[in-house]
Amino acid sequence: MFKKKLVSILAVSSIIMLSACGTGGAGDKAVSGSANTASSPQGKIVIKYWTANGGKIEEAKQNLVKKFNESQNKIEVQQANQGNYDDLHAKVQAAFAAGNAPAVFDLEIASTGIFARSGMLVDLTPLAARDEAQVNIKDFNPGLMGNAYIDGKLYGIPFMRSTPIFYKNVTMLKDAGLDPAGPKNWKELEEYSRVLKAKGKTPMTMAVGVWEYEALVAQSGGKVLSEDGKKATFNSPEGVAPVEFWKKMSDDGLIKFTVGKTAGADAEKDWTNQISAFKIGSTAGVSASLEVAKGNNFVMATDFMPANKSYGVPTGGCQLAITSKQNDAEKEATWEFVKFMTSKENTIYQHKYVGYLPNRLSALQSEELQNYYKEFPQYKVASDQLQYAVLRPNANAYAEVSKTIIDAMTKAILEKDVKPQDAMNEAAEKANKLLSK
């Protein structure tokens, strides 16, 4: 999965200062006008769109931007990739402070709260209400809308949205004499893993991630934070159960945990090279994983993440958010672009091109996708799993809290003498201090 650690406003204060004192890139020098937009020599309103992530994800966005620019002659969108979500968020915050923010950007959903409450985003509620016939908010899958609202106001429109899903190397399972349907719960995952280990295979490789952890907490019937976001609840029995399970699986050689800056890439290499039979990954990886499977001559299937007491997953990915400090004409131009990017037609396009969820119910139910799923059922799993979706915490301090959770889990899983309950209790104390600020 892609990184979900967020950068708070205070955490990037030094970046903001450096940005304000430094020089802009060539693109910034070439365009004059307001912070978010400008006028081109042809009289078009030019808006800056900053994106995160690369590969097929970036290709899909580039293709859609090109399509939008060619569809009309009043607005020109200039796209610039800013790295991963952490990089993008820090740069947007710095640019906003310097008066040079993009008009629109990919906002990772769990950071919506801190951006909205800081006054950096446009409240989209009146725009969506005015253009209800065209936007049709009710057409977006309800399981994706929770993190779009902050304090009752709409701040983001679902764009490239995801959930973690369970990837299976069906060929490896058959070779090991296992049912290719794969494990449906934690107990079966352990049973499958023991057979695979006995056959000399690594059952699963993964990095210690808070997104995956949120899923296992939901499956155990718990919550990471209290409903009001002011108290850590991840040291409850339901919050500790996933860490205890992962520690047991690690100690028994059934899950290989990778660490360090390349942890995610290292885990992906094991999957690609057929060292590992399973992986937990974003639905955004379906298209690329199918290509890997085809190139390496194995069959790949996807499934719900194995359940504990029940199924459960957080959603993820990004929504499109409009930055404030724009005049009415600029805001309207940016809003036209957002509506285009999140239309039924374009949600179908990005879903098939990458694997991100089809955000609109009309897209999911379309004849085009229903026929597509008959050939590629791997794409449909994430949408079916949304019935078990839970919100990601939107507390302002969740970026720092996430890091605290990851550090505690890593210590508990990899250090034999550390008890999960003790590690999570200590992390909860630190988190409560952060949440009380």
What pLDDT is attached to residue 4?
37
pLDDT for 412: 98
Looking at residue 254, its pLDDT comes to: 98
Q: Tell me, what's the pLDDT at 43? A: 81
Per-residue DSSP letter, 307: B
d(C-alpha 160, C-alpha 42), whole Å = 31
Instruction: Spell out the residues 6+ positions from residue 103 whose beta carbon is closer than 8 angstroms to its own.
Output: 36, 37, 47, 48, 49, 322, 323, 326, 330, 333, 334
Helix axes 237-251, 398-414, angle to 10 degrees: 40
Rounded-to-integer distance, Cα 409 and Cα 222, Å: 16
19, pLDDT greater than 60: no
d(CA 247, CA 254): 10
User: In which band, very low, low, confident or very high, does the pLDDT at 377 lie, cut at 50, 70 and 90?
Assistant: very high
Give CA–CA dist 127/135, Å, rounded.
9
Least confident stretch, 21-25, 166-170, 182-186, 197-201? 21-25
Q: Does 57 have pLDDT greater than 60?
A: yes
Res. 31: pLDDT tops 50: no
Interior CA angle at 397 toward 100 and 19, to 5°?
A: 25
With bands split at pLDDT 50, 70 and 90, how would you rate the model's confidence at 36?
Answer: low
Name the pLDDT band for 127 (thresholds 50, 70, 90): very high
Backbone angles phi, psi at 417, to 5 degrees: -85, -5
Give the CA count within 13 Å in the CB-facing half-sphere of 242: 31
With a pLDDT cut of 70, the percent of the chain lying above it is 90
Q: Does residue 33 register a pLDDT over 90? A: no
- In the predicted model, what is the mean pLDDT of residues 95-124? 95
**Local structure of residue 230 (DSSP, 8 states):** S
- Convert the pLDDT of each residue in 242-267 to its tens digit: 999 999 999 999 999 999 989 999 99
Angle of helix 55-71 relative to helix 286-295, nearest 10 degrees, comes to: 120
Q: Alpha-carbon Rg of the chain, whole angstroms?
A: 22
C-alpha 31: how far from its chain's center?
A: 31
> Band of the pLDDT at 128, cuts 50, 70, 90?
very high
Query: What is d(CA 72, CA 182) in angstroms, rounded to the nearest whole number?
Result: 49
Per-residue pLDDT, averaged over 160-180, amounts to: 97
Task: Judge whether residue 9 has pLDDT over 70.
Answer: no
How long is the chain?
Answer: 437
- Render pLDDT for 378-414 as a digit per residue (tens, 0 to 9): 999 999 999 999 999 989 899 899 999 999 999 999 9
pLDDT tens profile 329-362: 999 999 999 999 999 999 999 999 999 999 999 9
What local confidence, expressed as pLDDT, does residue 29 receive? 28
Which of left, alpha, beta for 76 (phi over 0: left; psi -120 to 50: alpha)? Answer: beta
pLDDT of residue 39: 55
| Per-chain mean pLDDT for the chain | 90
Q: Is the pLDDT of residue 203 over 60?
A: yes
Residue 106 pairs in a beta bridge with: 320
